[in-house]
Homo-oligomer: A and B are copies of this chain.
Amino acid sequence: MHKTAIGIIGASGYSGVEATHILAAHEKVELRLVTSDRWQGEAVSRRLGTMGAVGQLKYAPLDKSAELARECEVVLLATPAESSLQLVPGLLAAGVRVIDLSGSFRLRNLASYPAFYNFTHSAPELLEQAAYGLPELFRERIPGAKLVANPGCYATACALSVAPLLRAGLLDEGSLIFDAASGTTGAGRKGSEDLSFSEVDEDFRAYRVLRHQHTPEIAQTLAGVAGRTVPLTFTAHLLPLKRGILVTAYGRLRPGATAAEARAALEQAYASCPFLTVEASPDAVNLKGVVGTNRCTVAVAADTTGYDPGRVVVTAAIDNLVKGAAGQAVQNLNLMMGWEETLGLSTLRGFNP
């Protein structure tokens, strides 16, 4: 069987490692290129324990990424936003299809880049071309795309939690609140005192409150779904664990709308989505049910205490490195190539003991 040649640029970061694990077992893929300065010259098997052919592959230096990537049909960029911005134009010009895991091509509003990413976008003409790769909400644009902007981890979980309710017109026009918490791998592989075990363990705190860079991305997605601007507040917290994002989203039901309708909206929206599961109660949505997999679990409840009539709460959980990064990238790859959506992803097992 013909296998498609794929490369991973930035393969030693946590998302790059995850992508390597997944693609190593993907039946239609030949993983031909992995680049990393950190692990340059080493075999994948020494670093990841991968058995078989991929285990023999050696990490190439990052600065050869552009050149070596030309032998691939598709590359995944698991690089910082600035690096992606530099690499993408050349890759596309060389006919290589790109799935970019950074934030570089996610936002259509150019002004958001200096405001939230601290750079001026150098390839604005590509923003229109880029398909925002959140298949459960915007499946149609991905198959033909040359460039997929893989969504942010928080943005994925936030959008999936409430989009069906917005689409179904069940929420009032007030602002939505997304209170989210992530494991430490969301911050990437690095050595900083703030992320040291002695500082993070046994602690919990919010960060970048009211200034997180995923805010415009969530807003853009919700506007796309609702057909109107949706005001929102997003808060990120750092959990003392490695993987997973839990979002607790707060909205208000439009007068007359019911909790049953909200649940039905989730179920209908996700009935044909292989990675989405609607749980019976927000209490049943947890990290251990999704970590290690490409799944997203969601559930909704409405106020019964009488203390906040009309309040609706939706919880959603994903693995930030899988559905929030590498897994979703492979899901996008499958759709881009016309393959079955779950290829290479259906056998991922949870880490839950």
Selected interface stretch from A87-95, A148-156, A162-170, A190-198? A190-198
What are 13 inter-chain pairs, A to B, with CB distance below 8 A?
A17-B353, A24-B349, A25-B347, A189-B196, A191-B196, A197-B199, A197-B200, A202-B288, A204-B286, A206-B283, A209-B313, A210-B303, A234-B307
Given the known interface contacts A49-B289, A202-B291, the answer about A210 and B305 at a Cβ–Cβ threshold of 8 Å is yes
Q: A210-B303, A233-B313, A235-B313 are in contact. List 13 more A-B contacts (CB 8 A).
A: A17-B352, A179-B250, A181-B204, A189-B196, A197-B240, A205-B315, A209-B281, A211-B305, A233-B250, A237-B246, A239-B239, A240-B241, A351-B351
- Residue contact A197 to B51, C-beta cutoff 8 Å: no
Would you give the shortest CB distance from A19 to chain B, in whole angstroms? Answer: 11
- What is the interface residue range for chain A against chain B? 35 or more
Would you give the shortest CB distance from A259 to chain B, in whole angstroms? Answer: 9
Please report the C-alpha to C-alpha distance between residue A305 and residue B232 in the assembled complex, in whole angstroms.
Answer: 10
A86 contacts partner chain B, Cβ-Cβ < 8 Å = no
Interface centre among A18, A197, A231, by most chain B C-beta atoms within 10 angstroms, is: A197
Chain A stretch 216-253: residues in CB contact (< 8 A) with chain B: 216, 219, 231-235, 237, 239-244, 246, 248, 250
- Residue contact B216 to A198, C-beta cutoff 8 Å: no
A201 contacts partner chain B, Cβ-Cβ < 8 Å = yes
* Number of identical monomers bound together in the oligomeric complex: 4
Nearest to A284 among chain B residues (CB) is B205
A110 contacts partner chain B, Cβ-Cβ < 8 Å = no
A321 contacts partner chain B, Cβ-Cβ < 8 Å = yes
| Chain B residues whose C-beta falls within 8 Å of the C-beta of A56 in the assembled complex | none
